[in-house]
C-alpha cells in the first residue's frame, strides 16, 4: 500500500475528567473520501480539531504526508495543505464574500491582485460568484456553508476536513453541495467528512470510520459498516441488534 496521506496513531484527548477521544487510530490514502460518523458527542469534532491543529492530543500522534504534525498550530497546517470548515460556520461577517476568500488566497498568493484573481476562480468553482460583493453576514445558511468550503478551497489544499457542510440544508441545496464535494474530490483532494445525514455520508464516502464515546468501533466500506452489529447498537440501541 502506498504511504498514507494521513495517519492518526493511538490518539486520545482528555478534557479534565472527560475522555473525548480514546485511543483512536486510522489511516487515509490519497484521493479517498473517508466519512466519519457517530452519535452526538462521539468525539467527531474533537478529532477534527486534533487533526487540524486546534487541539493538541493528550496522547498519540498525527502524521500528514509522512511528517509528524502533532501539536502544530492550525496556521502552519494550512500552509502544509490542510484545509478545514467549521460545523458552526465562521464567516468574516462584516466583510464581503470576495474579501473572505481573498484572505484565504493570500496563503498561496501573497500579492493582492493575484489573490483576488485566484479568489474569483474559487467563487466560480463553488457557485458563489454572483454573491461576491455582498457582506458574508447576508448569506443564507446554505450560502455560508458554501462560503466555508470556498475559503478552505482557496487555501489550495491537498487535504480537506468538512464538518457537517450538508446538515441543515434543504434537499436541493444538499444535492448541490454533494455535487460540489464530488468535484472537489475529482481535483485530487483527499476528504475527511463528518455528516449526520446517513443518505449523504453513505452515498459519498469510499470508507467510513465510526466513533462512539470517543472510541473507534468500526471501519470499512459503507455496506460493511451498515451491517456491523456494534454500529447498529450505537445508533439504534441494544434491542435492534
Partner 1 sequence: MLIPLTKDRRLLVFLGIFLAVLLLPFVVHDAFFIRLFTEAAMWIGLSLAFDVLAGYTGYLNFGHSAFFGIGAYTTGLLMMKSNWPFYLALPVSALTATLAALIIGFPTLRLRGAYFSIATWALARAILQGIMMIPYAGGNEGIQLKAYLNPLFFFYVMSGLVGVTFFVLWFLLERAPFGLKLKAIREDQESAKALGLNPTKLKMQAFIMSAIPTALIGGIFAYWVTFIDPASTVGDLISDQALVMVVFGGMGTLIGPVIGAIIIFAFKTLFWAYLSAYEVLYLIILGAVIAISVVFLPDGVLGAAFRKGTGRHAKGSIHVTTPSPEKEA
Cell of 61: 500522534
- Cβ at position 33, least distance to partner 1 in Å: 20
CA–CA separation, 109 vs 131, rounded Å?
A: 22
- Cβ at position 157, least distance to partner 1 in Å: 10
Measured from the CB atom, the residue of 91 and 222 that comes closer to partner 1 is 91
The binding site for partner 1 (CB under 8 A) comprises: 45-46, 49, 52-54, 73-75, 78-79, 83-84, 86-88, 90-96, 98-99, 102-104, 106-107, 110-113, 115-116, 133-135, 137-138, 151-152, 154-155
Measured from the CB atom, the residue of 160 and 178 that comes closer to partner 1 is 160
- Cβ at position 208, least distance to partner 1 in Å: 21
- Cβ at position 192, least distance to partner 1 in Å: 14
Measured from the CB atom, the residue of 98 and 193 that comes closer to partner 1 is 98
Measured from the CB atom, the residue of 85 and 218 that comes closer to partner 1 is 85
- Cβ at position 235, least distance to partner 1 in Å: 20
Give the residue among 82, 75, 100, 85 at the shortest CA–CA distance from 156.
Answer: 82
Measured from the CB atom, the residue of 45 and 126 that comes closer to partner 1 is 45
Amino acid at each position: 500500500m502506498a504511504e498514507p496521506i494521513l495517519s492518526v496513531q493511538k490518539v486520545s484527548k482528555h478534557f479534565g475528567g472527560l475522555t473525548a477521544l480514546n485511543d483512536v487510530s486510522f489511516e487515509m490514502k490519497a484521493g479517498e473520501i473517508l466519512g466519519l460518523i457517530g452519535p452526538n458527542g462521539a468525539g467527531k469534532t474533537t478529532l477534527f480539531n486534533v487533526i487540524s491543529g486546534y487541539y493538541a492530543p493528550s496522547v498519540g500522534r498525527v502524521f500528514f504526508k509522512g511528517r509528524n504534525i502533532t501539536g502544530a498550530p492550525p496556521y502552519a497546517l494550512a500552509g502544509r495543505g490542510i484545509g478545514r470548515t467549521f460545523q458552526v460556520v465562521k464567516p468574516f461577517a462584516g466583510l464581503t464574500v470576495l474579501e473572505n476568500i481573498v484572505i484565504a488566497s493570500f496563503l498561496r498568493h501573497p500579492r493582492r491582485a493575484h489573490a483576488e484573481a485566484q479568489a474569483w476562480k474559487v467563487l466560480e468553482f463553488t457557485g458563489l460568484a454572483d454573491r461576491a460583493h455582498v457582506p458574508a453576514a447576508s448569506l443564507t445558511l446554505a450560502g455560508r456553508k458554501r462560503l466555508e468550503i470556498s475559503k478552505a478551497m482557496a487555501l489550495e489544499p491537498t487535504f480537506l476536513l468538512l464538518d457537517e457542510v450538508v446538515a441543515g440544508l434543504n434537499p436541493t441545496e444538499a444535492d448541490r453541495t454533494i455535487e460540489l464535494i464530488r468535484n472537489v474530490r475529482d481535483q485530487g483532494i483527499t476528504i475527511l467528512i463528518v455528516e449526520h445525514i446517513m443518505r449523504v455520508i453513505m452515498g459519498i464516502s469510499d470508507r467510513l470510520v465510526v466513533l462512539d464515546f470517543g472510541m473507534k468501533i468500526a471501519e470499512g466500506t459503507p455496506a460493511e459498516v451498515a451491517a456491523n452489529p456494534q454500529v447498529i447498537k450505537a445508533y439504534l440501541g441494544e434491542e435492534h441488534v
